[in-house]
């Protein structure tokens, strides 16, 4: 573009002389302007070449960045959704059930089960009702057991049998002695200083 402008200005100088020869006022062009623009065009072409080389180098590095990690596979496990503005709104979450091969939408007290296709449609369609995905959780393939959202092996609660102790008071089986009331914190004040061990952050 700059080179074409330089050539046009050179042509205008020639045209201006022809116009003056026939008695028409010519077009004034700064004598050094065409060469200055031509030099700027040369510098721009050189800069574009450098930038293209940098782009090619970055793309090559990017394509090879995780070349040695492609054997590791991660699966999407959860997606957090937000609907609203920067200062307010509503959140809900989709959590994948790997065992049943479905997703569940946890929205306050409502839990809705979705197929994989329904989930993909819900998070890919941009609309106010669908909200905006804001955070994703992935789990390494083979480690899905660490993120199971549903407890399927529920342990039964121990059975409590009540008996009367010799004094006629009811107590849980195995006891027979009324439990003493313990004041939390001992004899010290509740709001008193407490010793806290070192925490490794």
Instruction: Give tens-digit pLDDT for 33-87.
Output: 667 777 888 888 889 999 999 999 998 888 887 777 778 889 999 999 999 888 8
Between 18 and 68, the more confident residue is: 68
165 lies in some domain: no
129 lies in some domain: yes
Q: Give the span between the Cα atoms of 13 and 36, in whole angstroms.
A: 15
Q: Give the span between the Cα atoms of 50 and 192, in whole angstroms.
A: 67
182 lies in some domain: no
45 lies in some domain: yes
99 lies in some domain: yes
* Domain shared by 142 and 99, yes or no: yes
170 lies in some domain: no
Q: Give the span between the Cα atoms of 62 and 74, in whole angstroms.
A: 19
pLDDT at 137: 93
Give me the residues paired with residue 79 across strands: 94, 136
Tokens 């107590």 locate to 171
Are the beta carbons of 153 and 99 closer than 8 angstroms? no
Helix (H) or strand (E) holding 60: helix 33-64
Q: Nearest Cα to 102, choosing from 88, 110, 112, 89?
A: 112
Are the beta carbons of 179 and 185 closer than 8 angstroms? no
pLDDT of 118 higher than 60:
yes
* Domain shared by 44 and 91, yes or no: no
Q: Give the span between the Cα atoms of 72 and 70, in whole angstroms.
A: 5
pLDDT at 177: 47
Q: 18 is in which domain, residue-wise?
A: 2-62
pLDDT of 88 higher than 90:
no
* Domain shared by 53 and 102, yes or no: no
* Domain shared by 54 and 15, yes or no: yes
CA 183, 188, 190, 195 dihedral sign is negative
* Domain shared by 81 and 138, yes or no: yes
- If one counts the domains in the chain, the total is 2
Reduced to 3 states (helix: H, G, I; strand: E, B; else coil), residue 170 is: strand
14 lies in some domain: yes
* Domain shared by 56 and 98, yes or no: no
Torsion from C-alpha of 16, 17, 19, 22, nearest 10 degrees = 170
pLDDT 10s digits, 120-170? 998 888 788 888 899 999 999 988 888 887 776 777 777 877 766 666 555
DSSP-assigned letter for residue 201: -
- Give the global pTM: 0.46
128 lies in some domain: yes
Backbone angles phi, psi at 102, to 5 degrees: -145, 175
Last residue of a domain, one of 118, 147, 176: 147
* Domain shared by 44 and 93, yes or no: no
Mean pLDDT of 91-101: 92
Q: Is 86 exposed, middle or buried (0-12, 13-18, 19+ CB in 10 A)?
A: exposed
């Amino acid at each position: 573009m700059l080179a074409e402008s330089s050539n046009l200005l050179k042509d205008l100088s020639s045209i201006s002389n022809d116009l003056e020869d026939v008695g028409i006022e010519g077009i004034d062009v700064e004598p050094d302007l065409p060469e200055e623009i031509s030099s700027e065009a040369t510098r721009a072409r050189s800069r574009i070449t450098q930038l293209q080389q940098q782009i090619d180098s970055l793309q090559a590095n990017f394509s090879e960045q995780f070349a040695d990690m492609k054997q590791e596979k991660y699966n999407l496990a959860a997606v957090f959704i937000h609907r609203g503005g920067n200062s307010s709104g509503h959140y809900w979450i989709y959590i994948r059930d790997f065992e049943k091969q479905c997703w569940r939408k946890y929205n306050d007290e409502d839990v809705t089960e979705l197929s994989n296709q329904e989930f993909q449609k819900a998070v890919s369609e941009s609309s106010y009702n669908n909200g905006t995905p804001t955070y994703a959780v992935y789990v390494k393939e083979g480690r899905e057991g660490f993120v199971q959202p549903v407890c399927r092996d529920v342990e039964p609660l121990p059975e409590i049998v009540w008996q009367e102790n010799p004094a006629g008071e009811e107590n849980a089986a195995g006891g027979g002695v009324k439990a003493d009331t313990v004041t939390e914190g001992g004899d010290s004040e509740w709001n008193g200083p407490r010793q806290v061990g070192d925490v490794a952050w």
